[in-house]
A = this chain, B = another copy of it.
Amino acid sequence: MMQAPMPPPKKGRAPKAELASGSAIDPVDTTYLKTLMGYNARRAALSIIELFLERLAPYGLKPVDFSVMSTICHNPGVTSRQLCSSLNLLPPNLVGLIQSLESRGLIERKPHPHDGRAVGLHATPKGQALMVQAEQTATELELEKTAKLTPAQRKTLLALLQKIYL
């Protein structure tokens, strides 16, 4: 399959937005990158995560901690194996995370009823109370970051993203 060579750099009329704007940097043509879903999804995710880190710092939760705690809260008795599978994490990277949450008194480890190898994870009342607040903060921050979207567009975006990774 042939393809046209690299598009010409458009010498005539490049997108210029620096007209009389004091210390702006010369803009760059990223037209091609903007056609890539991976590029745009990553940039959007990082933009949201940046604010997430700020707002959730008072709870001592980073994105992965938050995802794990939320999943434990909504699935009492869930195992590490299940968390790894559903959140796409690797077992060795979950160990320290779980230990940290336990030492903070946010979760408890109980023997699994049917499988002696596994350990059931449960949120403590303290952990549950923290996550009610944390989830509320996360939801608020998300609405701020997606303020340019209508509720319908927001719903559409969530559904389309899930069509990619699920």
Contacts and interface: CB of A to CB of B under 8 A. Distances in A.
Contacts of A73: 6
A164 B163 CA distance: 19
A29 B83 CA distance: 10
A44 B158 contact: no
Interface stretch (A93-101, A102-110, A147-155): A147-155
A71 B157 contact: no
Indicate the size class of the contact surface on chain A. 35 or more
A2 to B, nearest CB: 9
Given A29-B75, A38-B52, 10 more contacts: A6-B131, A25-B81, A28-B82, A29-B71, A30-B74, A40-B161, A41-B45, A41-B161, A43-B88, A157-B161
Interface string A1-15: 101011101000000
Contact of A44 (B37, B63, B132, B139): B37
